[in-house]
Amino acid sequence: MEKEITKTDDKNKYYLWGRHYHKLQYFDKAIANYTKAIAEEPYNSESYFNRGLAYIAKKEYDKATEDINKAIELGTDFPEAHHALGNIYDQKQDFARAREEYNKAIELSSKQEKLHEEHEITLEEHKPAKEFELLEKPDVNFSDVAGLKNTKEMINEAIIYPIKKPELAEKYGKTVGGGVIFYGPPGCGKTYIGKATAGESNASFLNVKISDVMDMYVGNTEKNIHNIFETARNNTPAIIFFDEIDGVGGRRDATQQSFEKRAINQFLTEMDGVEYSNEGILIVGSTNAPWYLDPALRRAGRFSKFIYFPEPDKKTREEIFKIHMREKPIDKKIRFGRLARLTEGYSTADIKEVCDEASAIPWKEALEGGRERKITMKDFLQAMGKVKSSLPQWYTSVRKFLIKEEEEVESRGEYKGGVIVVKHKRAQEELISEGERELFKDLIKDVSKQTSTNHRILRRIRIAFARHIM
């Protein structure tokens, strides 16, 4: 390989060395050589793209995004670039942008497919659909999930009891199968309790993300969906957990791309079990925006049960702090009840981040040569200065879909030499239907409350009181 590269002209030498080190998984050396290649040829989009892939391997996603976007800007607008961006946004949990990039990749791939057909070559020949493996039984169960007593009982009735005692369930018409949707604000435990459900029920478990399903090669998305269900059918009883399911099962009336519609149709075919038996398979989907799901998925026999996950209340927040800190060295003076009051409006994920930030403060001090000490209340207060609630912005963003608010607008026109002004109400374009609002009434109630001015003011007062008064 070395001799082959040495003979190459300087313009390609560093690029080839970068490819060489990339294959050996020496990503730092690969990046260094791609950087030299870019210095030699600043408009070489392939060097930017491959350096971006190396950054992805190192989990340096911001640098990877910059490089891959640069490759696209330079004219190399190929499916792989958008698929790589989709993976980056998926890792950063920006699922909306991930879906957008995956869709661009599939669209470009579809166009390339038509060109390749003229030469009797298909992109599918270059990359087969994925094979899916069962995850090991999750090592978490309901005892690791704080609060959500009513939610756990609903999950027990819908999922766990039928799996644990199938004969009794069948006797009373509660057979294992069908679908359940977990919905609610982001970061409030939907994915975590999905794993805990599998751990509680001893069922086979497949945790499926949007990146596992969406594929830029024509037809592979549908094949991936089929392979997921086929893996579950061969390992019943099984739970298939689709994280951010609206990325796969979005509304067809809002979908313009044919490949997206084909993916949803394939999903419906697999759920109906027309050609295959789905007995013993339970499909669980999580979403922050259940109104985006195709209505056909919500009918009886498919996702007919919806379980709401609200933001954690005070008692639950206190339990979350205790769970995350139970194996860490904490000061005995820490009052978990006060921490719970200080984090009103925080999601489960936000509280975990507070715990991580607070734990990192004495850890960094010890690393820098200081003495080891316990985590104190002061550390938590400092951490809360950095970690703010992620939910207010989300509540505001979804309000337009859920809360009916007629807007008054004016229309002006001339009338016999004068101007006439007519005031009328304009309906919200994005508001979901009355029937859907009834389906998500628990969420709507919370959104209405959390976005009200009075509630926001009172919450600030309660948090200030908890900060300054024990």
* Top-confidence residue, 291 or 76: 291
Looking at the structure, give the CATH architecture of the domain made up of residues 314-386.
Orthogonal Bundle (1.10)
- Tell me the percentage of the chain whose pLDDT exceeds 70: 79
Residue 420, burial from CB neighbour count under 10 angstroms (0-12, 13-18, 19+): exposed
The alpha helices in 346-440, defined as continuous H runs, are 348-367, 377-386, 391-402, 434-439
Asked if pLDDT for residue 421 goes beyond 70, the answer is no
**Average of per-residue pLDDT values in the chain:** 78
* Top-confidence residue, 216 or 222: 222
Summarize pLDDT for 434-451 with one digit per residue, the tens: 777 888 888 989 999 999
Asked if pLDDT for residue 203 goes beyond 70, the answer is yes
DSSP 258-298: HHHHHHHHHHHHHHHTSSS--TTEEEEEEES-GGGB-GGGG
Asked if pLDDT for residue 195 goes beyond 50, the answer is yes
Q: Which two tokens stand for residue 161?
A: 């009891």
Summarize pLDDT for 243-285 with one digit per residue, the tens: 888 776 665 555 455 566 777 778 888 877 666 777 778 888 8
Q: Which two tokens stand for residue 423?
A: 């005031």
Spell out the SS3 assignment of 289-358: CHHHECHHHHCCCCEEEEEECCCCCHHHHHHHHHHHHCCCCECCCCCHHHHHHHCCCCCHHHHHHHHHHH
C-alpha 194/C-alpha 324 separation (Å) is: 18
- Across the range 16-33, mean pLDDT stands at 83
User: Is the Cβ–Cβ distance between 390 and 347 less than 8 Å?
Assistant: yes
* Top-confidence residue, 208 or 410: 208
* Top-confidence residue, 77 or 435: 435
- Across the range 388-406, mean pLDDT stands at 85
C-alpha 11/C-alpha 18 separation (Å) is: 12
The alpha helices in 136-274, defined as continuous H runs, are 149-155, 161-164, 166-171, 190-201, 210-213, 220-233, 258-272
**pLDDT class of 470 with cuts at 50, 70, 90:** low
pLDDT value of position 250? 63
CATH topology for the 142-308 domain: Rossmann fold (3.40.50)
C-alpha 269/C-alpha 276 separation (Å) is: 10
pLDDT value of position 411? 59
Region(s) of the chain under CATH 1.25.40.10: 2-125
DSSP secondary-structure letter at 217? S
Instruction: Tell me which of 195-209, 320-334, 445-459 is least confident.
Output: 195-209
pLDDT value of position 401? 82
Summarize pLDDT for 277-306 with one digit per residue, the tens: 777 788 888 888 888 887 777 776 678 788
**pLDDT class of 377 with cuts at 50, 70, 90:** very high
Summarize pLDDT for 124-182 with one digit per residue, the tens: 344 555 666 666 666 777 877 877 777 788 878 777 787 777 778 777 777 666 788 88
* Positive or negative: CA dihedral 360, 365, 368, 369: negative
CATH topology for the 2-125 domain: 1.25.40
* Top-confidence residue, 116 or 422: 422
Region(s) of the chain under CATH 1.10.8.60: 314-386
* Claim: this prediction has a pTM higher than 0.75: no
Asked if pLDDT for residue 344 goes beyond 80, the answer is yes
Asked if pLDDT for residue 49 goes beyond 70, the answer is yes
Q: Which two tokens stand for residue 344?
A: 């009103």
Region(s) of the chain under CATH 3.40.50.300: 142-308
